[in-house]
Amino acid sequence: MSAQIIYGKQISDSIREELIQEVEQLKQQGVTPGLVVILVGEDAASQVYVRNKAKACEQLGYHSEVIRVPAETTQQELLALIGKYNEQQNIHGILVQLPLPKHIEEKAIIDAISVEKDVDGFHPVSVGNLMIGDDALLPCTPSGVIELLKRTGNSPAGKHAVVIGRSNIVGKPVAMLLLRENATVTICHSRTPNIAEIARQADILVVGVGVPKLVKKEWVKPGAVVIDVGVNRLPDGKLCGDVDYDDVLDVAGWITPVPGGVGPMTITMLMANTLKSAKQARR
């Protein structure tokens, strides 16, 4: 028996169809969702990703701006740019592509983005709202993971979810969302002893650590849902996840491929957040 493959690209396409309907309604009320993506420096991986976001905006009929500034841009200059877009009425989402050059303090930048326009969900107030369970702009990759689970009939309620990784952008928020969906959640990380043994207790295993092919079949309970958030660029240029896909395929019940799994969902949830922000800006 081989696992059922979770085609994130397909699910992502059908969510985009739903969003297009809503965008049309909003446009009839005179509002076009607007997103600005700010890219500091010329990181090659970021270039591809920024291009994909601009494409998604075009497909959905959003107003989009991509601002490229040189790697030497000062923190003060970047803060001024954010200040400008915070004020700008036609912009509902501001995304500053991470990582930033070392001379810029990431926290200062994230803190400066207006919470209403924080479509990444990285601002401390957004994080707090997520934790409390209040309405918030949710971080894109974690909310994409939840959508993948729900739309394949794998609702987290009552399941044991094991999250491997504790980053602020994946592990911690995905664990909090799974908890909100009534899963029982265990978080493992680099200092967890017997990690394979704990992973093997998961009904839902979510992995986001940035270690290529870390998760082997011995880590997976037969029939479990395996969600691979890893995006690792191998020396040959190919993308690979944190899960050893070929090894795990026969034991898992469900599995996301890389590419074509979580990645496309991240961009689609960014579009959903921008739409949500635009709707809220009407009032």
**Site membership for ligand GUE, residue 267 (CB under 6 A):** yes
Burial class (CB in 10 A: 0-12, 13-18, 19+), 282: exposed
Strand 232-233, strand 239-240: pairing: antiparallel
Token code pair at residue 96: 């500053």
* CB 218, CB 200: distance < 8 Å: yes
Among the listed residues 97, 117, 172, 276, the single catalytic one is: 97
Q: Answer yes or no: is 167 a known binding residue.
A: yes
Q: Binding ligand GUE by CB under 6 A: which of 266, 268, 273, 274?
A: 266
Return all residues near 121 (Cβ < 8 A) that are at least 6 apart: 127, 130, 136, 137, 138, 139, 140, 143, 173, 273
Residue ranges in 5-44 that form contacts with ligand GUE under rule CB under 6 A: none
**Site membership for ligand GUE, residue 97 (CB under 6 A):** yes
Among the listed residues 117, 118, 120, 276, the single catalytic one is: 120
Strand 160-164, strand 204-207: pairing: parallel
| Minimum distance from residue 53 beta carbon to ligand GUE (Å) | 8
Residue whose CB is less far from ligand GUE, 95 or 204: 95
53 is catalytic: yes
Residue ranges in 121-160 that form contacts with ligand GUE under rule CB under 6 A: 140
Q: In a 3-state reduction of DSSP, which class is residue 168?
A: coil
Nearest to 218 by CA among 199, 203, 205: 199
Q: Answer yes or no: is 30 a known binding residue.
A: no
Q: Which residue is nearest to ligand GUE (CB)?
A: 263
120 is catalytic: yes
Residue list, annotated binding site for NADP(+): 165-167, 231
Active-site residue numbers?
A: 53, 97, 120
Residues of the shown chain interacting with ligand GUE in the complex, contacts defined by CB under 6 A: 48-49, 52, 95-98, 120, 140, 231, 239, 258-260, 263-264, 266-267
